Structure 1
Amino acid sequence: MSDRFEFSVSATDGRARSGTIRTPRGDIRTPAFMPVGTAATVKAMLPESVRATGADILLGNTYHLMLRPGAERVARLGGLHRFMNWDRPILTDSGGFQVMSLSSLRKLTEEGVTFASHIDGSKHFLSPETSMEIQRQLGSDIVMAFDECPALPASEAEVAASMRMSMRWAQRSRDAFGDRPGHALFGIMQGGVTRELREESAEALRAIGFDGYAIGGLAVGEGQEAMFGVLDYAPGFLPEDKPRYLMGVGKPDDIVGAVLRGVDMMDCVLPSRSGRTGQAWTRRGQLNIKNARHADDPRPLDEACTCPACTGYSRAYLHHVFRAGEMISGMLLTWHNLHYFQELMQGMRDAIAAGRFQDFVAEFEAQRAGGDIAPL
């Protein structure tokens, strides 16, 4: 186990790459999918269960944790790892995206963002400096620079002005982060769907110098085609010897497409949120356990899956407990979804290492195109 933050690429296949991020709290195998633990918990899961699915790292939300229970309280209680009983790496976002998504409550200036809490309306201020301090108090292993992410659609002039302010904030984040051995700071590329702005953003970030680089401002409503259009060039603007993190992605086909284009890390609430609403993701695509066709079906969600939901329970049972509003429904479906997402990542890592990633993608697409197993 390293006492520093290091990244190495062990295999490439086209633009896809597999490797390892080494941190004092353990290794992160890439491509990596990070389950989202918004309020210091991955909803409906125990931390050891999340680890059992194959997750090497979790994501925590600075915005939510600063409002409740508060970063100072988490620090007093020994930091986020001890607080939530997760001893492996944690990445915290900067709070910028949540402030953007609650934009009706915010006031934005060059200095930072003043906003009202969605919980109780109390006023708060976030800036590059305060975001770095809150993330320091939380004790996360990977800290994200504070940025502004404009909601699309926006004019090119608006996107350009926002990106340039985010680059000024990136320098302030770097300055405020200081020297923290064993902890990493990632910069965030912005620029919407405009190639020249993405390149300008990447050049600014490289000049500042970060331990890793995120691609922000995607998966915010622009659609998969536009997102892939940006990913066809954006990862290539970033240093090859640092991890590349696509924020807020996504569905399994988004994830595979991103890895195909050179992305190393992703996160999304989808596996857990879907699990709580009766949606299961399998190698055959998405299924809705609410549907009546499952009511008498003794078969598992996915006959090839080794998660507890598939090895111990039928579709009929999962249909019943969802309809009955039982908590075990969200628990089992979330476990299954997280297991499937991590299995997908392992499959990609193995395929890249073996030089057969294109075959993997073709098999992935063919299985999904076949759809769910036929009803009984």
Structure 2
Amino acid sequence: MTAYELLATDGSARRGRLHTAHGAVETPVFMPCGTYGTVKAMTPAALETVGTQILLGNTFHLMLRPGDGVVRDLGGLHRFMDWPRPILTDSGGFQVFSLGDLRKISEDGVVFRSPVNGDRVPLTPERSMEVQRNLGSDIVMVFDECTPYPASVAEAERSMALSLRWAARCRRAYPTGGPGHLFGIVQGGMHPGLRRQSLEGLGEIGFEGYAIGGLSVGESKEEMDAVLVALLPLMPRDHARYLMGVGTPEDLLRGVELGVDMFDCVMPTRNARNGYAFTSRGTLKIRNARHRTADRPLDAECGCYTCTNFSRAYLHHLDKCGEILGSMLMTNHNLAYYHGLMARLRASIETGTLPTLASTLRDGWTALDEPF
């Protein structure tokens, strides 16, 4: 069986199914970030309750703590964190390249200073594949260099070419038929020609899915949209398409309209811990004084545990007091909202009504007087 099945389309939008060793994932899908083997403020049971199909783990951080060998010896990441569903792990590349002067790049890979204890740690394409194999990932990402923004054509081309050479090494270290699916990552900065070249090079190597990296790194919405409009029609129809590190509900809707299948972002969880709730009427900040006596849910259209049982006034109180429960309830709602949004998008693609739903969603998001 192939990794990805295309089930229906509506314009460029795609309704599909991704097959993994830990079950099928209905797409388009949003993946919460479980950086250290946990999605902050959520138990595994709560994640399942709000509709999480697949989550993202972080190779870089888990390699450093507790160590990929420890996770392997304890039965893999699924058993370690008691998560029975699929897991995608990033390669560690983005985190390494965000270290700035603490890392040195060469053809072989990267050597960096550990942010945990200052040790010098090498990370190569082969080592990244070893770590992700030890974690037991269902979807493994190639080790790449995240092209900085802004980058000239020459800078982006050098970075893209290095990432392609590393991708080939990842494929050799993690051959087809392995325990998980290996995804290539398209780089090339904001330059359409380089993006096309990267995609063609990855296609020659051959992967089970293809991701779009190097976006949501400081560029404007217009620049990101231009890259997606140019690139997505060129991507293989019979493989999953993953837009990395994106984003807001509007970003997800726009990505789905253009043909993206998979998304991840810290936004729903991080923003929840900072008092922001995503709703059908836009984004609201629960710590604002207007919510101190508001006896109504975050979102009247939401049936999550938070909206069913607690008022804005109570959530405002928890936030003001710095109570852990506040972060838990806000995160529960935001993830339920994101997963509910993706379920509605999947259903609308099946019925050919995505444009109608998109119009309804956008009208609602602009109705609130507290834009994010």
Q: Is the TM-score greater than 0.5? A: yes
Pick from 208, 211, 233: which aligns with 1:211?
208
Q: Which residue of 2 aligns with 1:197?
A: 194
Q: CA contact under 8 A between 1:149 and 1:190: conserved in structure 2?
A: yes
Distance 1:223 1:131 in 2: 31
Distance 1:351 1:102 in 2: 41
Pick from 144, 152, 160: which aligns with 2:157?
160
Q: Which residue of 2 aligns with 1:287?
A: 284
SS at 1:147 equivalent:
coil
1:97-116 correspondence runs (5 A): 97-116=94-113
Give 1:48 shift.
Answer: 1.2
1:70-219 correspondence runs (5 A): 70-219=67-216
Distance 1:151 1:290 in 2: 35
Q: CA contact under 8 A between 1:5 and 1:23: conserved in structure 2?
A: no
Task: Kindly indicate whether residue 15 of structure 2 is the aligned counterpart of residue 18 of structure 1.
Answer: yes
1:234-313 correspondence runs (5 A): 234-313=231-310
Deviations 1:94-120 (A, max 9, x none): 000011112221100010000011122
**Counterpart code for 1:70:** G
Unaligned runs of 5+ in 1: none
TM (norm. structure 1) is 0.97
Q: CA contact under 8 A between 2:147 and 2:188: conserved in structure 1?
A: no
Distance 1:150 1:203 in 2: 18
Q: Which residue of 2 aligns with 1:9?
A: 6
Deviates more, 1:116-125 or 1:256-265: 116-125
Q: Which residue of 1 aligns with 2:55?
A: 58
Distance 1:296 1:306 in 2: 21
Deviations 1:116-165 (A, max 9, x none): 11122111111110000000000000000000012201211101100010
Distance 2:343 2:85 in 1: 18
Provide the aligned C-alpha RMSD in A.
1.1
Task: Kindly indicate whether residue 364 of structure 2 is the aligned counterpart of residue 367 of structure 1.
Answer: yes
Distance 2:162 2:290 in 1: 52
Identity of aligned residues (%): 52
Unaligned runs of 5+ in 2: none
Give 1:181 shift.
Answer: 4.0
**Counterpart code for 2:66:** P
Give 1:284 shift.
Answer: 1.1
Q: CA contact under 8 A between 1:5 and 1:24: conserved in structure 2?
A: no
Q: How many aligned positions are there?
A: 370
**Counterpart code for 2:49:** A
SS at 1:233 equivalent:
helix
Deviates more, 1:47-56 or 1:32-41: 47-56
Distance 1:197 1:151 in 2: 14
SS at 1:88 equivalent:
coil
Distance 1:260 1:135 in 2: 31
SS at 2:71 equivalent:
helix
Q: CA contact under 8 A between 1:16 and 1:262: conserved in structure 2?
A: yes
